[in-house]
Amino acid sequence: MRAVGQSVVRRDAAEKVTGRAVYVGDMKLPGMAYAKLLRSPYARARIVSIDTSRACAMAGVLCVLTSEDLKGIDPYFGPVLKDQPILAAGEVRFQGEPVAAVAAIDERTAAAALERIEVVYDPLPAVMTLDEALAPGAPLVHETPPRANGMFSDVKNLIARASNVVHEFHYQHGEPTEELFQSPELETFDDVTTYPMIHHVMMEPYGCVADWQGDQVTLHAATQHPHPVRRDIAQIFGLPLSRVRIVVPYIGGAFGGKSYAKVEPIAAALSRACKLPVRLCLTAEEAFQTGRKPSARVRVRTAVSPDGRIVARHIEVYYILGAYADVGPRVTQKAGYTALGPYRIPNARIDAYGVYTNTVPAIAYRGYGVPQTALAYELQMDRIARSLGVDPIELRMRNVLRRGDRYTPSDSDFDADLPGDLAELRHGMPERGSRGPWTGQGMAVTLKTTIAPSLSQAMVRVHADGSASLFTSTVEIGQGAKTALAQIVAETLDIDMAKVQVILADTALTPYDQATSSSRSTTLNGYACQAAARDVIRQLRDIAAGSWGVAPEAVKAEGGIVKAADRQMSYGEALDSLFGMTGAEVVGVGTYAGAMGNVPLSGITPFWEIGLVGATVEIDHDTGETSVHELVSVADVGKAINPALAEAQDEGAVMMGLGHALWEEMVYADGQLVNGNLVDYRVARMGDLPARLESIMVENEDGPGPYGAKGIGEGATCAVATAVAAAVNQAAGIEIRDLPLHPERVWRALRDHALTAQQEGK
């Protein structure tokens, strides 16, 4: 890693906070039952009948549930629309949808019981592709308009309707008229790209242990969103929030895939039915049937002046959301909003659509829809550069947003130094052409908003011995949030980091946090943690001031001691002086509440996450295989609270994006997902690691978080696949606009290019 700016917050915080990782799958509760799900073999079918009698009669089977057994509750859920049933009701809408659930004394018995459940299906016409879903007279994935959840203010006006287009987002500023795009004084570029379905491939699949005790339920869940999941469970079962407890242990990877409710409602329903704790942990293959990244088709039209200035841009993007909405409408809206790219564009129009299909539901994924649009607008920027004979970085220098600019007239000021970031990328990338004629370089610069409006709360307890406990609902998913937040509290209290204990997310103990997603934990939850620690310091200074008869402003807190002039006492002694006994504590509370605004998303983005990546590739002309030799990432992080963890996040994002560029794609044939497993689905492996992988941290301390921090971890993922695609196009002189760049696709593009050149030569 090469850092630009400042680095470590505390000298004693270089190492990650360690502890034994306990996952949901490790849990064993007394009398615990084990659950398995029966899944539909059809992409779309009417359920004629389900006979569970033979399964119920098996020894060791505790309960069997179908949708008919879910009476007296609200059996539908979904963070935006309540369109997803706990178990398929009347109709299945994608291959792999759960139809029945079994709880038994062990997993083997539960699996055997599934074989004894008889389901009669009546297959129905399915829409598997975007074109099929949008065709006139196409079968509707949902014939009855679903209900809104009401969880998000930015989609509160979403109109539920009987259509395969579940949501539309439209935005315009300036006058991006057709006359402008056809002006003879401007050059217009018009391109279409496609982005495939991609799975998260987290090492720990979905899991939950549900335990009903009387009229309340506790769920130990592998979720990024404990408080929203608590809300969903409370609504489904008609419980007050105080009767639902979500405990989140360590999570073995998530990348957005464990956002909001997934298996928790089924596990809770089973536990309620058999009156025992129930463990439901999916296999890797079942995870493929639970969620994936939205695939997309994007059209970009851009009008450019002779000197390379963007005059107008029109984006039309279709996100293919699968059988259920999940957060797809928000992806459509938020990613659609940023589809113009990190550029100053006086005349702009955005039309974004979220579309139902009979495929696995699309859910949140690292980058939240931005990689799909970035592929389109950045590959087009390269085409513009070639047409005008301008260096690709220079073209971007002429057009990128500057600090203080507005992405849209009513949003927050832009908070990054993009010209400086581009200069860092240019400096970090090697000279082109050092490896041979089939070597190429590509780059991409992308922009992403953060969830808004946003809310985080935190609590810090300082104990009698001067140590502290931090209560936060941020979830540790391997990104190091526990370490970074402990650093922030230790720095603010000015105590050794070893004295800070972080209490993991538990809705019965830890205060509200909106989400562990959108690169917000260190920045926005960190702000709340810092505010809570400062509240503790304020109280300690007030205690000392009252004890000594001085103004609070005269009291300083440092090194675990409060002091004024020649007087001093430890934090513990200050508490003793107030309460007249030992063992007392002081509790501080902190809140981050993001600003509302009149931007199209109903909230001003707290910070802009920037991703810049440069790639050097080499193509095997005979096979089409692409080798990536160098990847350079520039992360504009504001402040790297823990540089080692920041570097790990950024490099992980780069490697994840490399898989998207070259291999990853969920493939359907005749309504069946044919590669939904870890054998046939190819991800980036250690052997694919480029010979040179460099992460450059730009630290201008210009973020809203503690010490000027901004989010990190998604920017590089938004840019990598595009940078690799741009390098492949440059190396071979071709125009590939579809991912992944597997050998056959590249080989066919090379062949077609050669044939075209041969015909033109004649």
Q: Can you say whether the dihedral through the CA atoms of 486, 490, 496, 499 is positive or negative?
A: negative
Residue located via tokens 């287009």: 165
- Structure letter (DSSP) for residue 331: H
Nearest to 151 by CA among 451, 411, 588: 451
Alpha helices in 389-465 (DSSP H): 392-399, 418-428
Burial 194-231 (b: 16+ CB within 10 A, else e): bbbbbbbbbebbbbbbbbbeeeebbbbbbbbbbbbbbb
Q: What are phi and psi of 243, to 5 degrees?
A: -100, 5
Judge residue 701's burial from the number of C-beta atoms within 10 Å of its C-beta, 0-12 exposed, 13-18 middle, 19 or more buried: middle
CB 370 within 8 A of CB 448: yes
Phi/psi of residue 376, each to 5°? -70, -55
Distance, CA of 314 to CA of 303 (rounded, Å) = 9
In eight-state DSSP terms, residue 740 is -
Beta bridge partners of residue 247, listed in sequence order: 220, 506
DSSP character for 523? I
Q: For helices 715-732 and 370-388, what crossing angle results, to 10°?
A: 40
Extract the tokens encoding 88.
């398929």
- What's the token pair of residue 403? 């600090």
Q: Do 722 and 662 meet the contact criterion of CB atoms below 8 Å apart?
A: no
Q: How many angstroms separate the Cα of 673 from the Cα of each of 128, 412, 743?
A: 11, 42, 21
Task: Confirm if 154 and 84 have CB atoms less than 8 A apart.
Answer: no
Pairwise CA distance, residues 234 & 243, whole Å: 8
CA distance 501 to 378: 44
Query: Distance (Å, rounded) from C-alpha 511 to C-alpha 272?
Result: 26
Q: Of 424, 714, 735, 744, which residue is the catalytic one? A: 714
Distance CA 294, CA 327 (A): 10
Task: Copy the structure tokens of residue 527.
Answer: 């702000």
Q: CB neighbours (10 Å) of residue 762?
A: 4
Instruction: Check if 714 is active-site.
Output: yes
Q: Which residue, among 313, 319, 240, 324, has the nearest Cα to 290 in the 3D structure?
A: 324
Catalytic residue set: 714
